[in-house]
C-alpha cells in the first residue's frame, strides 16, 4: 500500500514539475487522496485536473517511452493468465503478450518500479512495458478478467494486496462475484447452467 502511494505521488509530482498540474491543486489532491484512501491519479482524472492524453504524450516525450493503443491491440490469453486479476486491477496494468521470453504489459503510471520487480519475481520473466491510457487499460481489465464468462474457471489467488482500497469502478464487485460463483459451482450447490445464468444477471447490473 505504501509503495503504491509513493509511486502515485511521483506521478503527480511529475505533472507539477511539467506544469500540467497547479501546485494548489496538487496539495488539495494529495490531501483528498489520503483522506479517502484513494489514488491521486484516479481522483485527478475524475476531477478533470489533468488531461489523460496530454499526460501520456508528456510522459512519452520526457521519459522516452513508447505509447501503445491497447484498445486496438490483440491481447494474448497466455499473457493474461500470467497476471492475477487483482494484481492487474490494483496496479492499473494489462498484460499484452509474450515475446522473446519477456512479458509485454501496458500501464499508465511508469513510476511503478517496485510493481514491475514484484511481477518479474512472481512470474520468473522479464517485463517490458508500454504507456497506455488508463481508461483503455481499465476497460480491458474489465473485459478480459471480469466480464468474460471464462473467468469463472479461474480463481484469483493473489492475496498480497488490500482490495478494499481499489478505486476503479466496480472491479471489487466483479472479483467477489467471480469467487462466489466459482465456490458455488465447485461445491455443487448450483450446477454450471445456473452459475452461467447468475453471472449473466450480475453483468447486467453492472
Q: What does the pLDDT read at residue 206? A: 47
H or E segment to which residue 104 belongs: strand 102-107
Please list, residue by residue across 148-176, b when 16 or more beta carbons sit within 10 angstroms of its beta carbon and e when fewer do.
Answer: eeebbeeebeeeebeeeebbbeebbebbe
Q: What does the pLDDT read at residue 5? A: 78
Q: What does the pLDDT read at residue 190? A: 52
Which residue, 168, 169, 92, is CA-closest to 129? Answer: 92
Which residue, 19, 145, 149, is CA-closest to 94? Answer: 145
- pLDDT tens, per residue, the chain with 206 residues: 556 778 999 999 999 999 999 999 999 999 999 999 889 999 999 999 999 999 999 999 999 999 999 999 999 999 999 999 989 999 999 999 999 999 999 999 999 999 999 999 999 999 999 999 999 999 999 999 887 544 433 433 333 333 334 444 444 444 555 555 555 555 555 555 555 555 555 545 44
Strands 126-131, 102-107: pairing is parallel
pTM value is: 0.71
CA dihedral 98, 152, 89, 129 (to 10 degrees): 0
Which residue, 86, 83, 93, 173, is CA-closest to 137? Answer: 93
Q: What does the pLDDT read at residue 147? A: 73
Amino acid at each position: 500500500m505504501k509503495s503504491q502511494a509513493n509511486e502515485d505521488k511521483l506521478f503527480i509530482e511529475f505533472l507539477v514539475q511539467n506544469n500540467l498540474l497547479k501546485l494548489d491543486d496538487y496539495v488539495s489532491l494529495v490531501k483528498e487522496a489520503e483522506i479517502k484512501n484513494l489514488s491521486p491519479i484516479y481522483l485527478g482524472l475524475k476531477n478533470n485536473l489533468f488531461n489523460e492524453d496530454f499526460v501520456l504524450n508528456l510522459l512519452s516525450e520526457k521519459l522516452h517511452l513508447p505509447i501503445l493503443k491497447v484498445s486496438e491491440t490483440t491481447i494474448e490469453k497466455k499473457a493474461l493468465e500470467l497476471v492475477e486479476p487483482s494484481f492487474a486491477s490494483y496496479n492499473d496494468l494489462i498484460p499484452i503478450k509474450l515475446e522473446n521470453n519477456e512479458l509485454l504489459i501496458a500501464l499508465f503510471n511508469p513510476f511503478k518500479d517496485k510493481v514491475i520487480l514484484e511481477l518479474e519475481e512472481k512470474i520468473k520473466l522479464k517485463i517490458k512495458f508500454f504507456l497506455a491510457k488508463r481508461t483503455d487499460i481499465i476497460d480491458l481489465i474489465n473485459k478480459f478478467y471480469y466480464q468474460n464468462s471464462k473467468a469463472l474457471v479461474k480463481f484469483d489467488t493473489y492475496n498480497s494486496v488490500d482490495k478494499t482500497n481499489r478505486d476503479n469502478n466496480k472491479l471489487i464487485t466483479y472479483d467477489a462475484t467471480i469467487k462466489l460463483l466459482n465456490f458455488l459451482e465447485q461445491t455443487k450447490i448450483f450446477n454450471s447452467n445456473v452459475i452461467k445464468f447468475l453471472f449473466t444477471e450480475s453483468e447486467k447490473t453492472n
